């Protein structure tokens, strides 16, 4: 029987590449997004994952049509380019609804099926779930929360044979920047040439190896460690790059 992967946010960017690669690797892929993806996919569910009833619809569909889940990839997400002073409470809550609460709820609702398959949960957080930067504070908080969720869930579900992988992309060339809310313009970064396909390959390798976490590109790993040693330097780069002094 084919293994089943459920992937959120398949209509563009990273999710589209993840869906394509896992499908080519033998998974039956169930994709979720609000707009229709322009790719070959086994099942597509049109759903806004911030709406609780639509999340229930996803679970029902997968239970009835596929009968199993071996892999859940919580990929859908959105950013925000704004100073804290510019970020409304409404916008902050809506970031958390999508990036954190929807992800947690889908994970918990898929857990019974994942227990049966001894499956894998892959959460797409961000390098910004490990380091803070200015003008993306709300987004950083939502992704720190995803990292904490992944790392605290992993030991709890190990006894069921479930692994939780935390994927932390740096800046990758997708529609992410255009879809960010907020007025600020992001500075250019040296790693901007990173490609969605590369991320999908790193994710697939992490799945096969049963890893805990992966940065993409890898260079963000040492960068995160370095930024812990010299936090004032990171603050200085932030102020300069975002022109906020
Ligand atoms: N690209 C980067 O530089 C980067 C860096 C670090 C982390 N990430 C993370 O990687 C993930 C994917 O981002 P991306 O770069 O591929 O961005 P993207 O091109 O903007 O894709 C976002 C995907 O999420 C879906 N989505 C958004 N809101 C949704 C909702 N309410 N319900 C269902 N689906 C929804 C979108 O589909 P619809 O609009 O059709 O619903 C789209 O397929 C995100 O979690 C992001 O935070 C990206």
> What digits encode the pLDDT tens for the residues 102-112?
999 999 999 99
Mean pLDDT of 186-198: 82
Is residue 139 part of the annotated active site? The answer reads yes
Considering 12, 33, 80, 125, which one is annotated as catalytic? 125
CA 144–ligand 1 middle distance (angstroms): 17
- Annotated active-site residue 227? The verdict is no
Q: Measure Cα distances from 54 to 24, 38, 51, 59, 105 in Å.
A: 28, 21, 5, 9, 11
Pocket of ligand 1 (CB under 6 A): 8-15, 32-35, 48-50, 75-79, 98, 124, 126, 169, 171-172, 174-176, 179
Q: For residue 187, is pLDDT > 70?
A: yes
CA of 245 to the centre of ligand 1 (A): 30
> What would the CATH number be for the domain defined by 4-241?
3.40.50.720
Could you tell me the residue ranges of all domains in the chain? 4-241
Ligand 1 atom nearest the C-alpha of 50 is 31
Per-residue pLDDT, 209: 98
Tell me the per-residue pLDDT of 160-184, one tens digit each, with 9 for 90 and over.
999 999 999 999 999 999 999 998 9
The separation between the first and the last C-alpha atoms of the chain, rounded to the nearest angstrom, is: 58
125 among known catalytic residues: yes
Sheet holding 28-33, edge to edge: 43-46, 28-33, 4-8, 71-74, 120-124, 163-169, 213-216
Nearest to 110 by CA among 146, 159, 164: 164
Average pLDDT in the 5-10 region? 98
- Tell me the pLDDT band of 142, cut-offs 50, 70 and 90: very high
**Can you tell me the mean pLDDT for 112-118?**
98
Q: Active-site residue among 143, 144, 220, 227? A: 143
Catalytic site residue from 11, 12, 126, 150: 11
Q: In the predicted model, is pLDDT for residue 210 greater than 90? A: yes
* Catalytic, out of 81, 139, 207, 216: 139
| Threshold 0.85, pTM exceeds | yes
For ligand 1, atom 17, name the residue with the nearest CA.
176
Specify the pLDDT at position 190. 67
Lowest mean pLDDT among 51-65, 201-215, 221-235: 221-235
**What pLDDT is stored for residue 188 in this prediction?**
82
143 annotated active-site:
yes
Closest CA to 186 of 168, 171, 167, 169: 171
Under a CB-based contact definition with an 8 Å cutoff, are residues 82 and 184 in contact? yes
pLDDT value for 189: 76
Average pLDDT, the chain: 96
């Amino acid at each position: 029987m084919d293994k089943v992967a459920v992937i959120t946010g398949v209509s563009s960017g990273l999710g589209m590449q993840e869906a394509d690669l896992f499908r080519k690797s033998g998974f039956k892929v169930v994709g979720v997004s609000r707009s229709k993806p322009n790719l070959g996919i086994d099942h597509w569910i049109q759903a806004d994952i911030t709406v609780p009833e639509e999340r229930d619809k996803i679970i029902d569909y997968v239970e009835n049509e596929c009968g199993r889940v071996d892999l859940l990839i919580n990929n859908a997400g959105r950013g925000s380019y704004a100073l804290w002073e510019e970020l409304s409470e409404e916008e902050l809550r809506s970031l958390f609804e999508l990036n954190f609460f929807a992800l947690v709820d889908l994970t918990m609702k898929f857990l019974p099926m994942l227990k049966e398959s001894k499956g894998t949960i892959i959460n797409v957080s961000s390098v910004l779930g490990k380091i803070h930067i200015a003008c993306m504070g709300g987004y950083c908080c939502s992704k720190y929360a995803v990292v904490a969720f992944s790392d605290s869930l992993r030991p709890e579900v190990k006894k069921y044979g479930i692994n939780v992988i935390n994927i932390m992309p740096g800046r990758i060339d997708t529609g992410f920047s255009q879809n960010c809310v907020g007025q600020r313009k992001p500075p250019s970064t040296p790693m901007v040439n990173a490609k969605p396909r590369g991320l999908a390959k790193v994710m697939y390798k992490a799945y096969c190896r049963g890893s805990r976490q992966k940065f993409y590109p890898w260079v963000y790993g040492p960068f995160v460690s370095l930024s812990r040693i010299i936090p004032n330097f990171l603050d200085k780069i932030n102020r300069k790059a975002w022109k906020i002094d």
